[in-house]
Amino acid sequence: MVAFYVYQRAVLGAPESVIWTHAYFEPEWQLLFNCFHSLPLLALAALIAWRTGAVGWLAFFSSMLLHSLTDLPVHHDDAHAHFLPFSSWRFESPISYWDPRHHGHVLGVLETLLILAGATALASGSRTRPWRILGIVTLVLSALFAVFAAIAWGSGQRGIDS
């Protein structure tokens, strides 16, 4: 999603309103987003990684699976097709993590608090240095994203997808 946004904004020079009301919904982009949220495809990739002993890839695809499972119930009109290639059906949730018309203000705050709590726990409570560094990096990136969001979307425009 970040690559999509950077491409739309920096390369094509598209304004926010075009990115999130038009470009995001183009069939080619939707297919790409759906593949990255497909539970069967991610499960297959994780299985292959596990069977081949690729621990890093297993962690990567497992985290994508976890993201997709938690992403499924928090999208309304921008829902992904989580069951590709078997189905293009989309669950249009009554709630949204970003859209204020569907409780986005509340869910957005809860999501942010969850990220900050997890990152703080990693940064301060981990026994190993790599996990502490991951927590610190997550806190720094969260702060940078908050500044970016305030500048780019402070007028109430739609934010980046999870």
Query: Which position has the token pair 């999208």?
Result: 75
Residue 36: inside a domain: no
- pTM summary value: 0.76
Q: Number of folded domains in the chain?
A: 1
State which residues form the domain around 152: 100-162
Phi/psi at 96 (5° precision): -140, 140
Residue 72: inside a domain: no
The pLDDT of residue 78: 92
Residue 134: inside a domain: yes
Residue 127: inside a domain: yes
Residue 59: inside a domain: no
Give the pLDDT mean for 17-44.
95
Residue 149: inside a domain: yes
Band of residue 155 on the pLDDT scale cut at 50, 70, 90: low
Residue 11: inside a domain: no
pLDDT in tens, 77-90: 899 999 999 999 99
Q: Could you check whether the bond before residue 100 is cis, i.e. omega within 30 degrees of 0?
A: no
Residue 53: inside a domain: no
